[in-house]
Amino acid sequence: MTTTEQRQIRVLIAKPGLDGHDRGAKVVARALRDSGMEVIYTGIRQTPEMIAEAALQEDVDVVGLSILSGAHMELFPRVVEALKARGVSDVVLFAGGIIPEEDVAALRALGFRGIFRPGASTQEIVEFVRASVEPRE
């Protein structure tokens, strides 16, 4: 039975940039949903401002970015900046897609707590999200 005061984990899954391949993002969204989370999916070709604004309005706990185009080192810092500009500083960030090993450290420094490269399982992502969301009212 659900209680009257349950706390739902809310996740935004977004695809910044111009690549239009969102199968991976959809699979992750689906896996998170199947583990009981509410997933806001915004579709492809999102600007950093659109992503940050959606994260703000939806008051999500977690933002996951999917990217295959290779533009992550350009776009991800801009997403982080756009979030900061809106005072959204307490969301957990993770990234998935084609991200070369040598970029991982830089993304971590930027605040990405989870980085999932090709081969990562959806289960890993689900567990990461669950573990990194601190209980909040």
CB of 30 to another protein, least distance (A): 7
List 16, 17, 28, 39, residue binding another protein (CB under 8 A): 39
By CB under 8 A, tell whether 5 contacts another protein.
Answer: yes
List 78, 86, 117, 130, residue binding another protein (CB under 8 A): 86
By CB under 8 A, tell whether 88 contacts another protein.
Answer: yes
* Residue with smaller CB distance to another protein, 24 or 99: 24
By CB under 8 A, tell whether 135 contacts another protein.
Answer: no
DSSP letter string, the chain: ---TT----EEEEE-BSS----HHHHHHHHHHHHTT-EEEE--SSB-HHHHHHHHHHHT-SEEEEEE-SS-HHHHHHHHHHHHHHTT--S-EEEEEES--HHHHHHHHHHTEEEEE-TT--HHHHHHHHHHHPPP--
CB of 112 to another protein, least distance (A): 22
